[in-house]
Amino acid sequence: MPAKGAHVDVIVGGGIVGLAIAWRLARAGRPVTVVDPAPASGASHAAAGMLAPVSEVTYTEAPLLRLGMASLRRWPAFAAELAEDAGLTTAGVPHDGGLTDDGGHEGAAGTPGLGFFGGAGIGDGARRALDLRADGTLDVAFGADDLAALDELAAFMEKLGLPVERLTGRECRRLEPMLAPSVRGGLLAPGDAWVDPRRVTSALLAALDRLNVPLIRARAGGLLREDDGGVVGVRLEPPPDGGETPSEIRAERVVLAAGAWSGELAEVPVRPVKGQIMRLRSPRPLLSRCVRGTVHGSYVYLVPRGDGELVVGATQEELGFDTTVTAGGLYQLLRDARELVPGVTELEVADVVAGLRPGTPDNLPIIGPSGTPGLALATGHHRGGVLLTPLTAALLVEGASGEEGELAALCSPGRFREIS
């Protein structure tokens, strides 16, 4: 029997998705516990934090684009409420208090720095606390083939009603003077945004702490099941340092949000996709927006932070549970970043990490009740975990209606036969 009241929901996984679900549950007054041996240390720690559904769109992934756009619209309110709950919107920092999540496209092209969020969505306090910015993404091209591909992409996006702007090489360099002289054209997605995922998970941990949500630093060794297979809790492994944690924890519902490791606890078609990512430190910002491009056939992006940090990501490697930082991965990042912005060579290398994205067979996340009573899933976010966090938490905590009902169906665990 689940212990009623004590831990109605147990979230397995303390990455950005699991922590956000726990926070939204706690905020709604539901008892919840998070289980993770090392919260905020996996893919969320590695992630660049691009909130870029438009520039990330590909011809085959219209459903993912719809999910991304819906989640991006939720980001301003999510960020503002999170900053408030985490105690980050101090009196000294202006905070407009107006929380809207209808951001829409109004302010996109014409209002630098606000993008899809419009002008009313998020206060300066939250913006600064989470380093949330919406200055757009510039996708650049070097050769004639790249330029032709950008033209195609621009036409495709316009057909979808997405505001993009085709720029010459000179126009690109006017926006971003540090770009390589060899850049011959670009595509600006002015509504794309980005956030610092490390600040977001820190804020989530602070908010959970303020809401007195228990965080058990232990590894979930398995699910507790009734005879009929229904899930009634989680078995915990003893901590390696000999500390004291309960050996199991019972729950009405277990939410599996363990990213690439989700398949270790239940039948979920999730595989690890390794990404190596580098953080450079600059005395002054080299870029004022996200810049991406394809160099030597590999895709690279540069994300500038408010403090001068420049994130360079990311490799995509199918190597199982391997998180080694390799000479080859680092070489690729450095080579490609240099090609886009030669000035990066002067910057200090502050950090290189490898994370494991939870990939799925159709590149869409797996969100919602599983076929098994007592077990819900919030995993498989692949490259979109940070972007899709507000939508994921909303679907799990509030349920979906209207257009989001359709989106929920796209992410439904039921689309995979093997899930149980």
| Torsion over CA: 329, 55, 139, 17 (sign) | negative
Q: Which residues pair with 275 in a beta bridge?
A: 355
> Taking the complex as a whole, how short is the minimal distance between the CB of residue 282 and a copy of itself, in angstroms?
10
Residue placing its CB nearer to a copy of itself in the complex, 334 or 376: 334
Strands (E), 62-184: 137-141, 165-168
With a CB cutoff of 8 Å and minimum separation 6, the contacts of 416 are 268, 269, 361, 366
- Smaller CB separation from a copy of itself, 280 or 366: 280
- Measured from the Cβ of residue 34, the count of other Cβ atoms closer than 10 Å reads 28
List 375's β-bridge partners, or say none: 254
Please, which residue, 341 or 364, has the CB nearer to a copy of itself?
Answer: 341
Q: Which is nearer to a copy of itself, 168 or 345 (CB)?
A: 345
Min separation Cβ 309 and a copy of itself, Å: 13
Nearer of residues 189 and 280 to a copy of itself, judged by Cβ:
280
C-beta separation of 88 from 210 below 8 A? no
Kindly state the smallest distance separating residue 267's Cβ from a copy of itself, in Å: 32
Question: Of 329 and 365, which CB lies nearer to a copy of itself in the complex structure?
Answer: 329
Which of 167, 173, 187, 147 lies closest to 292 in space, CA to CA?
A: 187
Chain CA centroid to CA 304, Å: 16
Q: What's the min distance (Å) between Cβ of 278 and a copy of itself?
A: 8
**Residue 283 C-beta: closest distance to a copy of itself, Å:** 11
Give the separation between CA 142 and CA 367, rounded to whole angstroms: 39
Q: Which residues bind a copy of itself (CB under 8 A)?
A: 278, 280, 324-328, 330-331, 334-335, 337-338, 344-349, 352
Least CB distance from residue 337 to a copy of itself, whole Å?
Answer: 7
Q: Which residues have a Cβ under 8 Å from the Cβ of 350 and sit 6 or more positions away?
A: 279, 280, 281, 309
